[in-house]
Amino acid sequence: MLTITVVDRSGRENAVEAQPGISVMENLRNAGFDEILALCGGCCSCATCHVFIGEDYWIKCVGAATGDELDLLECSDHREPRSRLSCQIEMSIELNGLRVTIAPED
């Protein structure tokens, strides 16, 4: 099984098991992170699954936001260069150990 290290809004760090082939958002919701609302269900239309990607290594692996995702993130008061929508990141073996921080709620 793969893992994702998640820092929640209170600053607590948790390592959770992740399933490949589904989005980081789905993995976080399956692990019980209620802070990931994902109101649109992963359709890239709400930005309620906003996370910050960890270290530079992970940013290179995950890539930058583009298209609709970038447009949605530009509306966030908390957007930064490490911002991504977790529904747009598919978990894979290459992302084993990924570190994300759940962004503050807009």
Give the per-residue pLDDT at 106.
87
Print the domain residue range for 50.
2-102
pTM score, whole prediction:
0.94
Model confidence at 6: pLDDT above 90: yes
Q: State how many domains the chain has.
A: 1
Q: Which helix (H) or strand (E) holds 25?
A: helix 24-30
Contact 39, 46 (CB under 8 A): yes
CATH code for the domain in which residue 48 is found: 3.10.20.30
Give the per-residue pLDDT at 73.
97
| pLDDT tens track for 21-77 | 999 999 999 999 999 999 999 999 999 999 999 989 999 999 999 999 999 999 999
Give the per-residue pLDDT at 1.
86
Contact 14, 8 (CB under 8 A): yes
Tokens 């911002």: give the residue.
83
Q: Which residues pair with 95 in a beta bridge?
A: none
Measured CA to CA in angstroms, residue 22 lies from 26, 45, 52, 64, 94 at distances of: 6, 18, 18, 19, 13
